[in-house]
Chain A
Amino acid sequence: MRGLAGFAVLVGLWDLLRLAHVLPPTAAPASWDIARALADPSLAVAAGDTLLAWAGGLLLAGVLGIAAGILLGVSRWADAATRVVIDFLRPIPAVALIPVAVVVIGLGAGMQAVLVAFACLWPLLISTRFGVRDVDPLLVETGRVFGASGLRLAATVTGPAAVPAIRTGLRTAASLGLVVAVATELVAGSPGLGWYIAQQQQAGQIPAAYAGIVVAGSLGYVIHLVFDLSAGRAVSGRAVSRRSVSGRAFSGRR
């Protein structure tokens, strides 16, 4: 409720600054014009396209990244062998590969999904590897004591214990994937929100361009909510006051 009020104030501020010519009125349309432009049916189609490329890329990265992450987490040799290559490839911003992907794969949703997957691969791979390696040795030993080994150990102990770390990676990947999906549309012109925004801006339909941004933001917000909730919202600011007295029972000492 207070959040909604805060949002309303934000919108009001936008219109106020615009009317006061602090924001250039040509580049900052009125909020009601943006709201009207949200009704454009082709906007929904564009959102669907973006979502599709995002989901495809994330799925691809999920399968590859988690599998590779488990391998690298379990096998020190595999980890050592790939380290240099990964260290070099990882910092390359996926958007730099847009031209390469256009040349090699050609325009289309497949190209876009591959780029999204490239971006999402690293957070997934790194956090999975970390999660697998960070599993409490006591858990693994317990598993061993009860006769689990090899694949069974991985499936019953190592895998489940690494899930929280994998979820963290998934959360990072999910929002990063959307960034790359939109960027690809912007540069390569694949159908989707990025392309929609660029088109509207070039056509002088500024409110429509902003409507595209709002929808992109909403998409990001929903993705964030879904992945955050599924991850159980780890240690965030909701810290309750921990100023409680320790629970030691009251007693005299012998």
Chain B
Amino acid sequence: MAEIPLIRATALTKSFTSRGRTTRAIADITFAQAEGEFLGVVGPSGCGKTTLLRCLAGLDHPDTGTIEFDGHPITGIPPALSVVFQEYNRSLFPWLTTLENVRFPLRRPSSLGRRARAATREQAREALSRVGLADFADHHPWQLSGGMQQRVALARAIVSRPRLLLMDEPFASVDAQTRATLEQLTITLTVELGLTVLLITHDIDEAIFMSDRVLVLAARPTHILRELPIDLPRPRDDVETRALPLFQNHRRDIHHLLSPTPDS
């Protein structure tokens, strides 16, 4: 592991107050992620995973604790960071074509010359073809299936070559078949582009299958129950990897952590 982690969270806490009632979302979270590592964060629904991601992304501020990106405390949204949100239909712009959606994060001040603007279009096109949607550049998101829309969101997230990609339940809104395909696609992209990914999910299998290491979170107010290295061989295969005894062991371990039976 590298000397300076890409992102490091120290003693994060966060509560929300609405109508006079305070809810603690994050009790105490400390972890670090190295460059190039695929980190899975798994926990029950509503445990504060999304809040954690929003804090890491700089979209929300933790009440206490610090977040360092590349060794420096963050003071906003780190420019080298990108997010895939859970619900594509709430994050893709219906008025833009898929190409324009993907191109959206690329800086495009009007001062930019025509050539530079054409270059961003090429960049977007390249990202689209990486997710297999080169032929759908001129479609609008609502003309595509849910799985394809999430591919567009993925293309948009990688178009600027982020150093850290945060994924918030990215495959929770698609069917199981599509989900497996998208998981495989994400892994491929990670390898091809050398991405550092932090994946938040409630799906234990997904976390094990994709990650190098898994953080298991407790129910709200959340904290880290266990940190679990996943030493499954890569490249991982949808069928083979899942059939390995090691995979099953990890799966059982996390399951027990998250749903303790009274006599356990």
Which residues of A approach B to under 8 Å, CB–CB? 242-243, 245-253
Contact = CB atoms under 8 A, between A and B. Distances in A.
B45 A252 contact: no
Contacts of A246: 45, 86-87, 169, 172-173
B258 A250 contact: yes
Tier of interface size on chain B: 20 to 34
Contacts of A248: 45, 172, 202
Nearest to A241: B18
A252 B172 contact: no
A252 B202 CA distance: 8
Contact of B49 (A245, A247, A249, A252): A245
A250 B255 CA distance: 10
19 contacts: A243-B50, A245-B45, A245-B46, A245-B49, A245-B50, A245-B86, A245-B169, A246-B45, A246-B86, A246-B172, A247-B45, A248-B45, A248-B172, A248-B202, A250-B43, A250-B45, A252-B204, A253-B203, A253-B206
B44 interface: yes
B206 to A, nearest CB: 7
Interface of B: 43-46, 49-50, 86-87, 90, 169, 172-173, 176, 202-206, 251, 254-255, 258
A144 to B, nearest CB: 31
Contacts of A253: 176, 203-206
A113 to B, nearest CB: 44
Is chain A's interface secondary structure helix, strand, loop, or mixed overall?
Answer: loop
- Top 3 nearest A-B pairs (CB, nearest first) are A252-B204, A250-B44, A253-B205
Contacts of A243: 50
Most chain B CB atoms below 10 A, which of A243, A245, A246, A253: A245
A76 B226 CA distance: 67
Contacts of B176: 253
Nearest to A249: B45
A247 B254 CA distance: 21
A24 B197 CA distance: 65
Contacts of A252: 203-205, 251, 254-255
Nearest to B44: A250
A250 B206 contact: no
B45 to A, nearest CB: 5
A248 B172 CA distance: 8
Given A246-B172, A250-B258, A253-B205, 10 more contacts: A245-B49, A245-B50, A245-B169, A250-B43, A250-B44, A250-B45, A252-B251, A252-B254, A253-B176, A253-B206
A251 B254 CA distance: 11
A254 to B, nearest CB: 9
Contacts of B206: 253
A245 B219 CA distance: 14
Contacts of B43: 250
A248 B206 CA distance: 15
A246 B203 CA distance: 13
Contacts of B202: 248, 250-251
A154 to B, nearest CB: 33
Task: Give the interface centre of A246, A248, A252 by most chain B CB atoms within 10 Å.
Answer: A252
Contacts of B169: 245-246
Contacts of B50: 243, 245
Contacts of A250: 43-45, 202, 258
A190 B241 CA distance: 85
A20 B8 CA distance: 59
Nearest to A254: B205
Contacts of A251: 202-203
Contacts of B203: 251-253
A243 B173 CA distance: 15
Nearest to B180: A253
A243 B254 CA distance: 27
A42 B43 CA distance: 70
B209 to A, nearest CB: 10
A247 B251 CA distance: 22
A157 B255 CA distance: 50
Contacts of B173: 246
A250 B172 CA distance: 11
A242 B86 CA distance: 13
B43 to A, nearest CB: 8
A248 B176 CA distance: 13
B123 to A, nearest CB: 30
A250 to B, nearest CB: 4
Contacts of B255: 252
Nearest to A242: B90
A237 to B, nearest CB: 17
A42 B86 CA distance: 62
A86 to B, nearest CB: 31
A250 B173 CA distance: 14
